[in-house]
Structure 1
């Protein structure tokens, strides 16, 4: 592939390599990618179906969970089919417009999930600290407004990145050592000044995901303080168990992302394929495991799943 270093040419077509350095292992690597995608689609679709068809589950907590499941499906579908096309058919060629569209949907969906997890933390805070006011606070109208706000925030903050990337001239290279397109991974191949891209990316990170993490932490500090004031051991245990699933999902969602950020910032000696694999864990793990976590730890969902899959047992 020809590499051009003058500003007279701007690449409009790029090539995704997949997992750099492990090209000969792509067929084997595709197996966990494919299995995680299938599990994600089936698990989250089943979760959405159960919540929509079970009248007793049409409560705020489950409606937010339904939003999370929908975002999980969108996140997986934005990234995994492209990776499988590279692994199976060496179809890594992607146009600039498709590349920008892909990173737009991946980043915006990731921010949407972060916002949903924040709202779910607030939901648990109200349920435990103000149980008598819970139903009056979380009305259907408010839940709808929250959903729209999450959508507008995620897409609104990422939308300017489209124009920040479209203004650039990509003359350095057109080989992307990754399974998906990413903002700075694409911008670094530009011959133009990308300081505004860097600073806007930092602003997006701080105003969305970082802010969400801080507010979630504060919510759980308040929740724990309220829980330890409960005199009844049964109520104490019930309050903790209602938050268990959410804490697991939060750890699963933010943990790989924090680890990936740290390795990219400080792990310069780490092989490139490790960075790419860690980045893919952020996309593969949460959508696959979230429905399993809620299915195992939430009795109402577990009973509905059992009734659907094993109707003769119930």
Structure 2
């Protein structure tokens, strides 16, 4: 698929990595960057940064997304779970189990692909705004088949991220340590304060992780607990802060992740006559090609890093590779 555009949004880097690019700033995580990032490994200890994918245990954060449902696969109507193959082949001692999962890929710990959020913009320069994503690509379905009218996105899907593999230098900014679990809209000034207080060194190509504590709260809620607290607790970045968006641009980070629902605070009304409800999503996914990780579980890693006066680690976080998806589960692993 070829992208063609005559003008790009203000502040966008479309074309800087090539006309056909769908990796964005992940291009900066190359072989040399991975070797450099591996130097952050000192003890060899690792931390999984994924929640169990059925957490949150109530679907309160996004009504479009439901928790996973696991079922046994079936053969001729029979559940294949602890199924003795001797019933099919006399003398066989094998007992097999297979399962089927119905999963909303962005329910729990996940990456947003660039196609997850696009923007109405006049990329053709003809005076008409139309939906367009990173590097001028349109997000349209694959060629439809008669037996499957929707087969995922033909461009800006999770595919390039999965093929590239995401391994690099992770950096943790511990908002929870400084601001607690109360709801707080985090500005660039707040981030700058934490960076200076914790002597954090951010380098080109880094994957910056914001620890807010929300995933930790979700993990410790029982299924029948009131989950409404997840809508009103902990820090979230203020995507409306132009200084914060400028910092994202100037810092030259390759990706952002957080342990909250959307990295930024979700807006439900506009502050201007026209513009994005999710300005940080637009800035990262559409303009700059910066993927966003959401609902990562960072609390155990954050405590270890603070105890050892560190902030950086080696991060391995490739999304699952199912072509066409615009978001995908991930089990990130931090190695220190």
Q: Could you say whether these structures have the same fold, taking a TM-score greater than 0.5 normalized by the shorter chain as the test?
A: no
Task: Return the structure number with greater strand share.
Answer: 2
The TM-score, its normalising length taken from structure 2, stands at 0.23
Higher helix share: 1
